[in-house]
Structure 1
Amino acid sequence: MSCVKPSIYDQRDARFRALIHPNAQLQQIGQGFEWAEGPAWFPAAQMLLFSDIPAHRMIRWTAQTGCSIFREDSGYSNGNTRDPQGRLLTCHHGLRAVTRTEADGSLTTLASHADGKRLNSPNDVVVKSDGSVWFSDPTYGILSDLEGYKADPEQPGSHVWRIPPEGGAAVAVCRDFAQPNGLCFSPDERLLYIAESGASHDAAVPPVIRVYDVTGEGLANGREFARIDAGLPDGIRCDGNGNLWSSAADGVHVFAPDGTLLGKILVPEVVANLCFGGPRGNRLFITATSSLYMLAVDACAAGWPG
């Protein structure tokens, strides 16, 4: 483990001070990955799981053992999350599917097709408290053989999909993205935030996070919430007070519920994703290119420790 000692904070608003510890050090707690992504914390096991996409594997981190292999042949896993029952849900580029890992370790496929056609390459996934599963489906995993298997898309576009609580067919709830990426609900689940990462392949696509009203089984009133001024948004998370924490090229950008940029946590590698965890939920885990970082903060995930 190593510490990044220079100042890691770029404060833009006085409210940022309440979310950080000025003397906290950014700790590099894992390294040597090809592209670290999709962190998810599991309180019952005090364990972080994340993906190393091009290496075709999933990694486990605990404070006692550090990083170790959780799953080989991961189906080029990307985003991960925990459902209300504490089970692992995973998006797979290679399988072009969303799966759930059962208590016995077996995989249940929740979605692999929509409207009779294969999905593109599911990227990020969130679970609402009612058990419905929402996931983004850009084309990154089929653009080349680096993070999946190169193929022509069968879907007419890159959408966000919803699987009902009882299971069944995925239904598109948002079709107005070039490449939808990270997802997160507001603490009260009345809003869904969606990251637009289409600037990765088309400079004309703005690097924005949009927010939508959640209307029962769908979404309405989409509008721009925030714009990333360094790189593009990928993974995003809300804390318990409704602040939104977003990945960016220069670190983690923190926005107030009104969209104001409060400040940045500067990271020496391009950040892909992040999540809250640790024994008290006040550790920010950051997957950034080839490394895993951890930072003590004054924030926890919405609903912690649920």
Structure 2
Amino acid sequence: MIESPSHLDIRDDRFRALTHPMARLERIAEGFTWTEGPVWFGDHACLLFSDIPSQRIMRWSEAEGVSVFRQPSGFNNGNTRDRQGRLIGCRHGFRDVVRTEVDGSLTVLADSWDGKRLNSPNDVVVSRDGAVWFTDPTYGRISNFEGHREAPEQEARHVFRIDPDTGEVAPVISDFVQPNGLCFSRDERRLYIAESGSSHDDSVPSIIRQFDLDGGALRDAGVFAEIDTGLPDGIRIDAEGNLWSSAGDGVHCFAPDGTLLGKILVPETVSNLCFGGRDGHRLFITATTSVYRVFVDVEGG
């Protein structure tokens, strides 16, 4: 049997088909304060990611290396792209979700609900119908490190949906301690959301919850998986329906039934990840002060 490289922790043989023993974990950028929100732009062959406390969105490409995409960023955290390819970002400092237009101008999509300012939008995804879904924990309110220390106005830490036709902002889930990363199953019949409340309360389980989409509503389908080291932050689905989650010791990969298939061990605490690269087979990982990449034998979902 071929031995796995030191960064691969194989728990199930199915993980061998998703990785490669000759692929190495590479650090492609370093020297940041807290990296987050990686998003791949294939049409520009570049990765954008946030350095939250430094108030910067950074750009990395194979050809040009690292440069500043936007500064100040308003403590921008999570990022994604919409159906038109535009950047959607969550800004702790402004308590909003913002879209970058083709001409570089910014459009605020959401900054309040029920007459009160949002907490500090954290992560965001866009569904096929164009709706924007985002989590709103209080991390950007807790200190001045990645936002502004202020008492939250919202009575809960909601998960919100922005209607693609009306622009209406509405909570869809309201019982998280601190909702964080989120992603859809490939068929968008299920929504996965990370519970990261253990960051400040050890009694909160480090779990990923799942919700079935029943018409226009969400139905709680229970716990999908538990993170055994650290807590879940950013999460992504691959083309085969496996879920990849950030964790304290690296990236954990779960089968569609919640079985832990294996881990990619990273020497820093992982915050988020995304699939990309010119061939679609690179997993980009934001981890504390650095950004890593590694070959995986599956593309993003």
TM-score where L is the length of structure 1: 0.96
CA positional deviation for 1:221: 2.6
Matching of residue 227 in structure 1 with residue 226 in structure 2: yes
Residues in 1 aligned to 2:275 and 2:135: alpha-carbon distance in whole angstroms: 21
Distance 2:20 2:221 in 1: 34
Contact 1:110 1:167 in 2 (8 A): no
Displacement of 1:280 in angstroms is: 1.4
Q: What is the letter of the counterpart of residue 121 of structure 1?
A: S
CA shift for structure 1 position 166: 1.4
Change (3 A) 1:90 1:167: farther
Q: CA shift at 1:167, angstroms?
A: 4.0
Q: Is the 8 A contact 2:5 2:21 kept in 1?
A: no
The residue that corresponds to 2:186 in the other structure is: 187
Q: Distance in 1 between matches of 2:101 and 2:245?
A: 30
Residue in 1 that maps onto 2:271: 272
CA 1:81/1:167 → structure 2, altered by over 3 Å: closer, same or farther?
Answer: farther
Task: State yes or no: 1:20 paired with 2:14.
Answer: no
Question: Percent sequence identity over matched residues?
Answer: 63
Which structure 1 residue ranges, 5 or more long, are not aligned? none
Q: Distance in 2 between matches of 1:157 and 1:141?
A: 15
Structure 1 position 176, deviation (Å): 1.3
Partners in 1 of 2:28 and 2:181 — Cα distance?
23
Letter in 2 for 1:288: A
Tell me, in whole angstroms, the C-alpha distance in 1 between the residues paired with 2:217 and 2:43.
32
Specify the alignment match of 2:33 in structure 1.
34
Aligned to 1:260: 259
Write out per-residue CA displacement over residues 259-285 of structure 1, whole angstroms, 9 at most, x where no aligned residue. 000000000000000000011111000
**Which secondary structure does the structure 1 equivalent of 2:180 belong to?**
strand
In 2, Cα distance between the equivalents of 1:260 and 1:222? 16
Q: Counterparts of 2:92 and 2:213 in 1: how far apart (Å)? A: 27
Written as runs of structure 1 = structure 2, the 5 A alignment for 1:127-276 is 127-276=126-275
Are the aligned partners of 1:132 and 1:164 in contact in 2 as well (CA < 8 Å)?
Answer: yes
Q: What does residue range 6-85 of structure 1 map to in structure 2 within 5 Å?
A: 7-85=6-84
- Runs (4 or more) in structure 1 with deviation over 4 Å come to none
What is the rounded CA distance, in whole Å, between the counterparts of 1:130 and 1:216 in structure 2? Answer: 13
For this pair of structures, how many residues does the alignment match? 298
CA RMSD of aligned residues (A): 1.0
Distance 1:33 1:167, change over 3 A: farther
Unaligned runs of 5+ in 2: none
CA shift for structure 1 position 6:
5.9
CA deviations 1:2-46 (Å, max 9, x no partner) are xxx961011101100000011101000000000000000111111
* Contact persistence 1:196–1:207 (CA under 8 A): yes
User: d(CA) in 2 for partners of 1:217 and 1:292?
Assistant: 37
